[in-house]
Structure 1
Amino acid sequence: MEARRLVTALVVAVSLTGAVSGCALVPRPVETRLPPGAPAASAPASPTATSAPSQSASPSPLTTGASPSVADGTLSCGDGQAQSISGSEQTFTVVGTCTELTVSGSALTVDATDATIGTLRLSGDRLSVTAAAVDTLAVQGNDDSVTSSAAMSSVDVSGDRATIQADGAIAAVVVRGQDNIVQSGLGVGSATVEGRGNQIR
């Protein structure tokens, strides 16, 4: 009787052990489920390095040496250039050997005592030019004056009250106007005069 109870107890114990082992928890993989419409999380973007904008060096302006100009009142003909002057009530200095010098305006004074001029053209009133030498002179205007320290090939005056003086001879003179004076230290070759009160000597 006692042995039967022991066997029964063992059978029950074995059955309980099997039942418990059958109910043991088995680990399952974890799944994350998002609600519908929710964006999936993404890894933060790694910052990308941006290079600083390159700056190209702009060429610096070329500088040139200052040369005499009308702006500062001095002109240089160099060795055989032509120059021109225009304005009013100003004084200029001209140096060098000028193939041609043109002066236009009013009340201009030109000091060309250090210049030799091939052809001098005056256009305007109250213009005054003093030169070391003038070969050919053409004057259009009133109350103009020209003085040359050398001889002249020709003088052509169209206007009134001009005064032309040359230390050397003047080969040919043409005057149209009134009260003009053309004077040569060594005489005048030929003269054509139209108008009143003109003096050629």
Structure 2
Amino acid sequence: MNVCLAPRPVIFDLDGTLIDSVPDIHACVNAVLRLHDIRPLTLDQVRGFVGGGVDLLWQKISGATGLPREAHRDLVASFMTRYHGATNLTRLYPHVTEALGVLADRGYPLGICTNKPLGPTQKVLDHFGIAQLFRVVIGGDSLPQRKPDPAPLRAAFAALGADSEQPRGVYVGDSEFDEECARNTGVPFLLFTRGYRKTPVEQMTHQAAFDDFATLPLLVEEAAAIA
């Protein structure tokens, strides 16, 4: 007797995975730094600080620029007023829309699990016209925990019908935060190599690595078969 299993859920990181948002983040960061007469940071500096959420971003910026710790809350608030709707410089990586469409057409439940705050996350998904493809979106402020803690990813899988403690599905991301989160959650990790990671690919644990979203549907199919 043949048993037809429902497609496994597939959860995606956002920044550095589906979108390159560093140019917008860079512009917003430097707009805040100018208010404090701090020399602007380079694009590469800001890229190196991205991945752990807004609080960690500004902890790293303050450490690099000498901004006082007590200014942290005001810096974050000033940044968020600019960042919430910042989409003009953000771009989807090539073939993202097509790959997501293929996966959705094949019945894979899709979701987002990102350390980006929920408001800007929803804004950018709407901006690119892909919000309707995702049945669940977990942002960096949706839960008390952030990646690499497994709680946000477990919540995303649970919202798509998977067992929250032992989910069977696939996580797609680009960074060390994503790798560790997938490992902590116990799911296969597909590594997009054109994102914001700092570690060489060969030193990261992953089911497969890819640099072109046109190849993703096949990789998901292979990873889901062992999930």
Q: TM-score, normalised by structure 2?
A: 0.20
Q: Which structure has more strand as a fraction of its residues?
A: 1
Q: Which structure has more helix as a fraction of its residues?
A: 2
Instruction: Tell me which of the two structures has the higher relative contact order, counting C-alpha pairs closer than 8 angstroms and 6 or more residues apart.
Output: 2
Q: TM-score, normalised by structure 1?
A: 0.21
Larger Cα-atom Rg: 1
